Amino acid sequence: MNTTTCSRNEFNLESKSTIGVEFATRSIQVEGKTVKAQIWDTAGQERYRAITSAYYRGAVGALLVYDIAKHVTYENVERWLKELRDHADQNIVIMLVGNKSDLRHLRAVPTDEAKIYAEKNQLSFIETSALDSTNVEAAFTNILTEIYKSVSNKHVGSDRQGYGGGSGTIIPTPPTEPPKKQCCNS
Amino acid sequence: MVTPPKIDFADAIQDSPKFRATISQHTIYFNRLESRLNEILRHINQMIDQSKNYVQTFYKLTVSVNQLCDESFSDNPLATKTFEALSDAYGHTLTLLKTYYEHSNIVIYQKLSGFIKNELQKVVEARAHFDNMSQSMDEALIKNASGSRQKPADAADGRNALTAVGACFAHTTLDYVAQINIAHAHKDHMILEALWTFVRESSAFFSKGHATFDEWTAADNGYVADTIHTFASKSKLVERKMQDVHSLVPKEMFQHPSGMPIDADVMMEGYLYKRSSNAFKTWNRRWFQIKENKLLYSHRSNDVEPSTVMEENLMLCLVRPAPPNIDRVGCFELVTPTRSHLLQADSESLCNDWMRALQRTILALHESDNGFINSSRGSATVPSTSKTETDLNKNRSLSDPIDSSSPRSTSSNTSTINQENNGKLSTFEQIRRVEGNEKCADCGSASPKWVSINIGVILCIECSGVHRSLGVQMSKVRSLTMDSIDGELKDVLLALGNNRVNSIFLKYLPETDIIPPPANETSTRQVREAWIKAKYVEKRFAKNTKAKISINKSASYKDVLDAWSADLSMPLPTIPTKRLSSCGSDTALDLVGESEVLKDDWKHVKESCENGNILGLLEAFSQGFDLNAHHEGTTALHIATKHGHTGTVEFLLLNGAKINMLDEKLNTALHLAAQEGHTLQVCQLLKRGADGNLTNVDSKTPLDIAMEGTHADIVTLFRVTIMRNEFNDYNNPMDETVDVVISDIANRAANEKLNKSE
């Protein structure tokens, strides 16, 4: 396990790329180890082209972000979730993120509705505000921890004990419309 | 109802109560007749409507029947023929029915309603007339009766009027009676005739139908019945065979390979578990095939998707048992030059079968020495397919016993296999087919398998050795079979080739007294060396030494070269080698003024770059043109990039063009590619190590320019590259994903370009 620090330790959900894929990196401490994550923000892509399924391939986690003030972005979650289930690894950790929780007066998606949906689909769920930084940190820490645990379980499960599926590792965390992430806990 | 008694004319003229009683009976009779007839007409009307619907539905039925035949039985000629006969019968029936319904009902309707309109209506009208007259008559009688004796004139008037009205009334009455009698007389034959027309139409319909089906049956001659019987007995056969189908299940399921692949090109196929390369290391079950020199896999899904290529060229791979830390049964490892795949079979023996099959394939590839089994198989296609054909038939007899063993399906199979062979020529095969490439460019030996990628000539192994000794700045040698040749390089090699390149390097070859003597297949190394150096290093036969005497720099350059080549122990500094790192900071160095090449040469180079004329560039290059020279504020590389000629750009880079060179606006080639939205070129330049961080005169990087132009794919390419460099030290687990993303984008761009040019 190496302890690298990444140059950009800030990831701001608000600073959406207008086009193309964007990257950010994030490091967190889990069980005394430093985990460095590489985050692929693909939000800009679909506006221009279909996302290539290659984006999903190496991902170990996904943040599916919708705007709590725009119901249509929440409706799209269904489609993104299907994409992920179709193309990504079956063990991918997905987290549903309702962003812009600061826009309380404009809320179009009730928290409870999203929460129930997340439970039904085995996603974890959180509401964030990139504007006032509420829960952004928590969102990343949660999903990274979950991924870290899942991957460490996996390693034990698949290489030493015969069958891969062993340790029931689908602990979905919410998926993200834009960002995708990869965690390298090498 | 009884027909009322006949009307007595005397009674009628007297207008006796008996007469009145009789005509009222007649009126009732006619009313009843009319309402009965109307009822009949209503029924006929309904029949007309319903028969219209019936005919329409029948028509739809025949259409559906025909569609059924086309969709589901079109590949079965026997069934199709039977279908046609039956459909014919349906069609006849429909035509007959249509004519019958349209005629019969309408005729009877017209006749009956005509009777009502003409005859009964007249009776009604006559009755109305009669009633009017009867009233007038009554008035005349009253007037006459009340005539006073004192007024004989009035009484006379009354009498006269009575006489006149009486006469008129008598006539009207007789008219009325006449009309009644006529109606009675007409009714019998008209109604009967109407009903008879219907019967006649029906009789005609049935006899026509009889005739039609007599004809049809004669034509059919039991064919349909026979066919149905044949199919029925075949279906029994299938039933019986399907009972035996379970015997196909091998005794030890998943222990051994289950039969030969149906596709002749597939060496082995079956399910394997594949360990994913991401951090989860999930084991996924996929359908694998060893096909030609590739290892392919695909998902088990309902959609037919093209297989993913796991390894492009098995020749470069190694198979071995999985390392001991993999604690799963039946695992093996496929090691490639860049990574290793872990695969798992369902049993140890299956695992051994797979390893043996892979090893055999790799061995065969090495032995055939082509890196391409198919070309050797190509000639053997006929026997190999015919052998599998028998396998095929064996299989088919079970899987498709209904197929009436028509030769059509088998022959079409063979032809598709051949077509595929032609359509998907390997890169090697395509390059080998370029003019002159069947022989070594320098000595003429057959079947050369090496290539100098910057000069574009195909070489035998001996000559390639000499080329290698010249140093990479002079000639970059690759194997056609063992090195991978990417799309850009392929463009270059297809544009050049031995004949075309020799036409440049041997343009002024004297007819006699060639010094040094040209090499041939049996030449010694020394002879080859002398020949190849004279040809490419000195370019002795490329220049018209008599005509062109050196005012230009290249001539003096050549002198230097000659001097160098005289002393072979020294390296040959023919072309400045590319300096990746220096050009970013050292712009002043790159921006040195125009070299003194003749304007004509520059014009020629410029045009070649604009038109993607690689051969033209090679020619200029052979004349000593400096590919890095600046002219009119730009360079060859910039022009070629701007015009989107990937092959040309590749050629320039291979021959020493500096990838990070700047034009007068301090743009690199990458800036221009980003500006023009040439996705393929961006891929290419990045692959060749272009620096994406340089800023131009407006302080913009190529990424800035791509964002301004909203070229999403290019932006992604730049960002992915930046990210990859950033992560490079950490053994980036996303490396493979990055590769796939880049190649996806490149493929998409290549396809778009292809579509556009078509």
To which H or E segment does residue A62 belong? strand A61-67
Q: Is the pLDDT reported for residue B12 higher than 60?
A: yes
The DSSP letter of residue B644 is: T
Chain A residues with CB under 8 Å of B327 CB are: 159-162
Q: Is the pLDDT reported for residue B483 higher than 70?
A: yes
Taking only the tens place, the pLDDT of each residue in B233-242 is 999 999 988 8
Residues contacting B310, CB < 8 A, separation 6+:
B274, B288, B294, B295, B296, B297, B334, B341
- Nearest chain B residue (CA) to A49: B712
Q: Is the pLDDT reported for residue A9 higher than 80?
A: no
> Of B279, B710, B737, which is closest to A19 when you measure between CB atoms?
B710
Q: Given pLDDT bands bounded at 50, 70 and 90, which one contains residue A51? A: low
Per-chain mean pLDDT for chain A: 71
Residue type at position B284: N
Q: Is the pLDDT reported for residue B136 higher than 80?
A: yes
Chain B residues with CB under 8 Å of A164 CB are: 281-283
Per-chain mean pLDDT for chain B: 81
Taking only the tens place, the pLDDT of each residue in B589-621 is 444 344 454 677 888 888 999 998 999 999 888
Query: Is B682 in a helix, a strand, or coil?
Result: helix
The DSSP letter of residue B315 is: G
Chain B touched by A173 (CB under 8 Å) = no
The angle subtended at Cα B403 by Cα B401 and Cα B405, nearest 5°, is 100
Instruction: Average the pLDDT over each of B196-205, B669-678, B728-737 and give the range with the smallest value.
Output: B728-737
Q: Is the pLDDT reported for residue A37 higher than 60?
A: yes
Q: CA separation (Å) from B729 to A55, A186, B298, B396?
A: 22, 11, 33, 56
Q: Are B528 and B442 in contact (CB under 8 A)?
A: yes
Residues contacting B2, CB < 8 A, separation 6+:
none
The two structure tokens encoding residue B537:
């290093």
Q: Is the pLDDT reported for residue A50 higher than 70?
A: no
Q: Is the pLDDT reported for residue B374 higher than 60?
A: no
Q: Is the pLDDT reported for residue B411 higher than 70?
A: no
What is the separation of C-alpha A116 from the centre of its chain, rounded to a whole number of angstroms? 18
Chain A touched by B725 (CB under 8 Å) = no
The two structure tokens encoding residue B677:
């939205």
**Using CA atoms, how far apart are residues B275 and B163, in angstroms rounded to an integer?**
126
Domain boundaries, chain A: 3-8+19-159+177-185
Task: Summarize the confidence of residues B97-120 as an average pLDDT.
Answer: 88
Q: Are A118 and A174 in contact (CB under 8 A)?
A: yes
Nearest to A169, CA basis, from A122, A125, A126: A122
The angle subtended at Cα A62 by Cα A121 and Cα B326, nearest 5°, is 95
Question: What is the pLDDT, as a whole number, of residue A126?
Answer: 92
The DSSP letter of residue B387 is: H
Q: Given pLDDT bands bounded at 50, 70 and 90, which one contains residue B56? A: very high
Chain B touched by A22 (CB under 8 Å) = yes
Is this structure's pTM higher than 0.80? no
Sign of CA dihedral B466, B470, B471, B473: negative
Query: Is B558 in a helix, a strand, or coil?
Result: helix
Question: What is the pLDDT, as a whole number, of residue B45?
Answer: 92
Task: Please tell me whether the peptide bond between B516 and the residue prior to it is cis, using omega within 30 degrees of 0.
Answer: yes
Sign of CA dihedral B432, B434, B435, B437: negative
B166 CB neighbour count, 10 Å cutoff: 18
Question: What is the pLDDT, as a whole number, of residue B342?
Answer: 92
Chain A touched by B733 (CB under 8 Å) = yes
Question: What is the pLDDT, as a whole number, of residue B376?
Answer: 38
Task: Summarize the confidence of residues A95-116 as an average pLDDT.
Answer: 88
Instruction: Average the pLDDT over each of A37-41, A156-160, B8-12, B98-102 and give the range with the smallest value.
Output: A156-160
Task: Summarize the confidence of residues B627-645 as an average pLDDT.
Answer: 89
What is the separation of C-alpha B579 from the centre of its chain, rounded to a whole number of angstroms? 47
Chain B touched by A58 (CB under 8 Å) = yes
> Of B719, B722, B730, which is closest to A2 when you measure between CB atoms?
B730
Task: Summarize the confidence of residues A58-79 as an average pLDDT.
Answer: 88
Give me the count of residues in chain B.
758
The angle subtended at Cα B73 by Cα B69 and Cα B78, nearest 5°, is 105
Residue type at position B486: D
Q: Given pLDDT bands bounded at 50, 70 and 90, which one contains residue A154? A: low
> Of A60, A162, A186, which is closest to B328 when you measure between CB atoms?
A162
Question: What is the pLDDT, as a whole number, of residue B15?
Answer: 84
Chain B residues with CB under 8 Å of A45 CB are: 712, 716
The two structure tokens encoding residue B438:
């069947």
The two structure tokens encoding residue B481:
């079979």
Which residues 278-337 of B have a C-beta within 8 angstroms of A? 278-283, 325-329
The two structure tokens encoding residue B248:
């196909």
Q: Is the pLDDT reported for residue A6 higher than 60?
A: no
**Using CA atoms, how far apart are residues B173 and B134, in angstroms rounded to an integer?**
9
Nearest to B390, CA basis, from B414, B367, B368, B370: B414
Q: Is the pLDDT reported for residue B465 higher than 70?
A: yes
Q: Given pLDDT bands bounded at 50, 70 and 90, which one contains residue B585? A: very low
Nearest to B414, CA basis, from B432, B434, B393, B399: B393
Q: CA separation (Å) from A161 to A89, A154, B279?
A: 20, 10, 17
The two structure tokens encoding residue B669:
């080639």
**Using CA atoms, how far apart are residues A117 and A110, in angstroms rounded to an integer?**
11
Which residues 110-129 of A have a C-beta within 8 angstroms of B? none
Give B82 to chain A, closest Cα distance, Å: 46
Return phi, psi of residue B705, to 5°: -65, -40
Chain B touched by A50 (CB under 8 Å) = no
Chain A touched by B744 (CB under 8 Å) = yes
CB contact under 8 A, A23 and B723: yes
**Using CA atoms, how far apart are residues B525 and B529, in angstroms rounded to an integer?**
6
Fold for A3-8+19-159+177-185, please state it: Rossmann fold (3.40.50)
Q: Is the pLDDT reported for residue B409 higher than 50?
A: no
Chain B residues with CB under 8 Å of A150 CB are: 280
Q: CA separation (Å) from A57 to A86, A89, A109, B99, B304?
A: 10, 7, 30, 68, 20
**Using CA atoms, how far apart are residues B399 and A20, in angstroms rounded to an integer?**
50
Nearest to A50, CA basis, from B709, B744, B304: B744
Q: Given pLDDT bands bounded at 50, 70 and 90, which one contains residue A115? A: very high
Judged on CB neighbours under 10 Å (0-12, 13-18, 19+), B415 is: exposed
- Nearest chain B residue (CA) to A186: B730
Return phi, psi of residue B130, to 5°: -60, -45
Q: Could you write out the DSSP letters of every residue in B237-296? A: HHHHHHHHGGGGS-SSTTTS--S--SSTTEEEEEEEEEE-SSTT--EEEEEEEEETTEEE
The complex scores an ipTM of 0.75
Taking only the tens place, the pLDDT of each residue in B540-567 is 888 776 544 444 444 444 444 444 444 4
Q: What percent of chain A has pLDDT over 90?
A: 12
Question: What is the pLDDT, as a whole number, of residue B458?
Answer: 94
Taking only the tens place, the pLDDT of each residue in B238-297 is 998 888 877 777 666 666 666 667 777 788 888 899 988 777 888 888 889 998 888 999
Give me the count of residues in chain A.
186
Q: CA separation (Å) from A3 to A35, A142, B697?
A: 8, 19, 40
Task: Summarize the confidence of residues A172-179 as an average pLDDT.
Answer: 36
CB contact under 8 A, A38 and B727: yes
The strand pair at A93-99 and A61-67 is best described as: parallel
Give A112 to chain B, closest Cα distance, Å: 32
Query: Is B670 in a helix, a strand, or coil?
Result: helix
Q: Given pLDDT bands bounded at 50, 70 and 90, which one contains residue A57? A: confident
Residue type at position B626: D
Bin B292: left if φ > 0, else alpha if -120 < ψ < 50, else beta.
left
Q: Given pLDDT bands bounded at 50, 70 and 90, which one contains residue A135? A: confident
Q: Given pLDDT bands bounded at 50, 70 and 90, which one contains residue B531? A: very high
